[in-house]
Copies of this chain bind each other. A is one copy, B any other.
Amino acid sequence: MSATIKDIAKIVGVSPSTVSRVINGSAPISGEVTAKIREAMRELDYHPNARARSFATGITNTAGLVMNASNETIFSNSFFNRSVFAIEKVLQDHAYNLLIANDNGRSDSQIMDLVQGKKVDGLIIPSSSLDDRLVCFLQDAEFPFVVMGEPARRAREVPWVDVDNEQGAVEGTEELLRSGYPEVVLIADDDTTVFAGNRIKGYRKAVQQRCKEQVVMTHHRYEDLGRRLVKETGSLQNKGFLCSSNEIAFYTRKALKELGIAVPGDAGIVTFDNYPLAAYMDPPFTAIDVDTYQLGKKAAEMLMECMHGKKTVRHQLIRTKLLVRASSMKNRREGGQ
């Protein structure tokens, strides 16, 4: 068996509490005793038992991250990866561990189990996993948590971090207008999610009075996109397309090609999200990039503050960054890398 605090105490000839105090710096101990204890710890290769410690203190030094795997997009998505990396880093800097749980959507929620079983001191939860019942539960328990993504309900009373989708849409739209496409069309899968709503809001803000609003919903179906675009917005010549995903952008570009409309030149494309896909398209897509590392970082930092009882900013938006590539230009410039 591994050495315990008692073993150290015995060897040095002090009480266990003294050893504990040296380990935690929780009380002043004479230099001499401290040195002897340190020495003994090294000799016995002593390492504090985190289990025992967390049991004694009531603190686990662990935060939980909920992933929502019902949402398949998480996979094609570097979102999760970078966020996890960032979260882990922040936690580690505070000597916290990261527990990952999957929200299987069942009622015997794993999320509640983490709280009730006292397995974690705080939670980071995707907005897709947040329902009223869970919010009530967490609030009743006064349990620290942060939501990733602006939630559809109770957004005011719950702390969250999100990407500034509105700003991203504004910048994407303006890029197309600025490049010389007088009309900009927003193409999204649907308008039911909060993030889609925010993108539409930003788009509206940007086109306001400069051109007419044209929003097309794909409902996740991309065959026949060209014809639908023509039907809903008229000629595609000289239009800029603000696409809400790389996939939409791909099918838009394909539709335009089939209709003999050059990109860039005859039409421009800007897409949300910057997966490797975007840069490798022909032409490379101008993208509204989301810093998911930052998103995770902010979420973790906010959670750390919550767990330590600090009253702090409750909502944070991460700015997007426009990566200008060929697809949004107006005058075709071939030969660029």
Chain A interface residues toward B at CB < 8 A = 2, 47-52, 54-55, 58, 60, 62, 65, 67, 69, 74-78, 80-82, 84-85, 88-89, 92, 97-102, 104, 110, 113-114, 116-119, 246-247, 250, 275-277, 280-282
Contacts and interface: CB of A to CB of B under 8 A. Distances in A.
A38 to B, nearest CB: 16
Given A116-B47, A118-B51, A280 B277 contact: yes
B50 A118 contact: yes
Given A49-B117, A55-B51, A81 B75 contact: yes
A80 to B, nearest CB: 5
A110 B91 CA distance: 12
A50 B118 CA distance: 6
Contact of A54 (B51, B80, B275): B51
A92 B103 CA distance: 11
Contact of A117 (B50, B65, B88, B116): B50
A23 to B, nearest CB: 12
Given A50-B119, A76-B276, A81-B77, A97 B101 contact: yes
Contacts of A92: 101-102, 104, 110
A175 to B, nearest CB: 22
A84 B250 CA distance: 28
A280 B254 CA distance: 10
B69 A60 contact: no
Nearest to A52: B55
A250 B88 CA distance: 33
B99 A99 contact: yes
Contact of A97 (B74, B88, B99, B250): B99
Contacts of A74: 81
A123 to B, nearest CB: 13
23 contacts: A50-B118, A50-B119, A51-B51, A51-B54, A51-B118, A67-B85, A74-B81, A75-B78, A75-B82, A75-B85, A76-B275, A76-B276, A88-B102, A89-B102, A92-B104, A97-B119, A99-B99, A99-B100, A100-B100, A247-B276, A275-B276, A276-B277, A280-B281
Contact of A47 (B65, B117, B280): B117
A5 B175 CA distance: 63
Contacts of A77: 78, 81
A41 to B, nearest CB: 12
Q: Which 10 A-B pairs have the closest CB atoms?
A: A47-B116, A50-B117, A55-B55, A98-B100, A51-B55, A88-B102, A75-B81, A50-B119, A75-B78, A76-B276
